[in-house]
Structure 1
């Protein structure tokens, strides 16, 4: 298949300053006009999101067939009605999890379930055995740091029990803990160049999320990267996180501070258990969520919709 991308030079998201937004919107739409004309040369159009954030604009003018790809609960945004309008103008919707699939299926849309893929060749276990150091890890954007910061009481208790253990935070800015000692927290500024190495020598990966509809629309990507690196996990058993946990013995689900403490304590105390769960997680990531595996399914979806 030949795939051509048409990204927005103006940027997907509106600028923070309100007075700039009309100019941003105009630039975005003007940029897209040639793409509308070119769309007639193609057998299929894939919208990886709406062309302009939270608005239905030129999408109906693109030549069909059209597919919408959804990996978040985008209908929950302010002005989220655009999601249903756009989906109904597409021949199919690819959904990253069953929560999103149920929403679009209820709208009468043809849907395909395709989880977010992880590159299991890039995200892989460390080649050597590593050190005996105990490192609890969290990776994510600063927008989600609040979820990690809410775990501070449980993290403090665990790090007090395991005197040599540390918490590693891989993010675009450091966390803002109130009481956790700075010497117990290792901050690594996220970049594509350091991301994998920063994960590989962790002892356990964390993915705390709130129990909300927005969280149920998440596709568990960070959890999958931990698994691909051969790490056991402790995660909030919400939405797809719970579905992935149910696939095998790969870690623990935790809702309360007591459960987070218990899950981390169990894993940090038993290196053999960590290795076994990490190996199972790696196997499941390759079998169910690898780029090689899911790209074939994606190609099959493209063929079935394009005819």
Structure 2
């Protein structure tokens, strides 16, 4: 039926009823398993049949979903679950108010797929990957990116997304757009010299789990990111890149990395090690499995 309500309000009641009915087989199927894992509400911003699923229930959260309009459902959803898995400490602090059994498990990266390229890319690319809904963060540093491109003439900007951004200050020919597809995202990141993740210092941004930052790092790419929330926690682990606040820091950080191959190489190697040792599937899958076993009364 679709995850989100249809734009036409008059059909939403029918859409909601049909969406809930479509979930009934899933509710019944949950009784064949030891644990029910909920990764979101069954009907957008409403708690409906979740309490009818088989217990124990575990809620998995990787965004500050309580900030959504009608976000009050979040407390109810957390309350009916036996445990909550949170993607970072900021989320854990919030959900800890509603459920005492909290486990922090960051978003995992497949470091076997996302890995450094075998050959070195000669062209210098500043790269960003994400969805067009997050272009607002990219536009936030557009003037800084323009200055970097002015100061380092042989550098270009690469955007990997579902559609092309519309820049007002980036010169024509200095930015390229790659439409996201599974077969191009890895090579598209591997060819970057620096990966960027600008975000604002908001409650929503603090709830983010730094996935694009981790993708760059897994590919051995140094990062320049806004040091907010989990981004800062990852920066504090090792020298994987630089944190930038304000236009001047964005410009200086990017220019430093673009003009020094040795610094890029050193930080890229550290970034890869941090991704593998702290955020890989091999490290985090056993933690997830144990959390689910504990919820089912079979772990320790």
TM superposition score category, shorter chain reference = over 0.9
Alignment of 1:176-195 (within 5 A): 176-195=166-185
Question: Quick one: distance in 1 between partners of 2:20 and 2:112?
Answer: 38
Structure 1 unaligned blocks of 5 or more: 1-9
Question: CA deviation digits over 1:81-130, x for unaligned, max 9?
Answer: 11110100000000000000001112243100000001101111101122
1:250 maps to 240
Q: Supply the RMSD in Å over aligned alpha carbons.
A: 0.9
Secondary structure in structure 1 of the residue aligned to 2:96: helix
Contact 2:127 2:194 in 1 (8 A): yes
Alignment of 1:263-302 (within 5 A): 263-302=253-292
Q: Distance in 1 between matches of 2:142 and 2:25?
A: 51
Query: Does 1:35 find its partner at 2:26?
Result: yes
Contact preservation (8 Å) 1:172, 1:189: yes
Q: Within 2, Cα distance between the matches of 1:70 and 1:16? A: 26
Partner of 1:44: 35
* Equivalent in 142, 148, 151 of residue 161 of structure 1: 151
Distance 1:15 1:200 in 2: 38
**Is 1:218 matched with 2:208?**
yes
Verify the 8 A CA contact 2:222 2:267 in the aligned structure 1.
Answer: yes
1:237 corresponds to 2:237 = no
Q: Secondary structure at the match of 1:112?
A: strand
For residue 86 of structure 2, the aligned residue among 95, 100, 117 is: 95
1:54 aligns with 2:45: yes
CA contact (8 A) 2:128 2:195 kept: yes
TM-score normalised according to structure 2 size = 0.97
d(CA) in 2 for partners of 1:38 and 1:166? 51
Q: What corresponds to 1:3 in structure 2?
A: none
Separation in structure 2 between the aligned mates of residue 58 and residue 303 of structure 1, nearest angstrom: 24
> Does the aligned pair in 2 maintain the 1:118–1:224 contact within 8 Å?
yes
Q: Which runs of 5+ in 2 are unaligned?
A: none
Partner of 2:132: 142
SS at match of 1:282: helix
Determine the C-alpha separation between the residues in 1 that align with 2:30 and 2:191.
46
Residues 237, 254 of structure 1: 8 Å contact kept: yes
Matches of 2:177 and 2:271, distance apart in 1: 25
Show the counterpart of 2:3: 12
Number of aligned pairs? 297
Partner Cα distance (1:233, 1:40) in 2: 45
Structure 1 residue 203: deviation in Å?
0.3
Q: What per-residue deviation string (whole Å, max 9, x for no partner) do you get for residues 193-226 of structure 1?
A: 1111110010000000010000000000000000
Provide the secondary structure at the position in 1 that maps to 2:173: helix
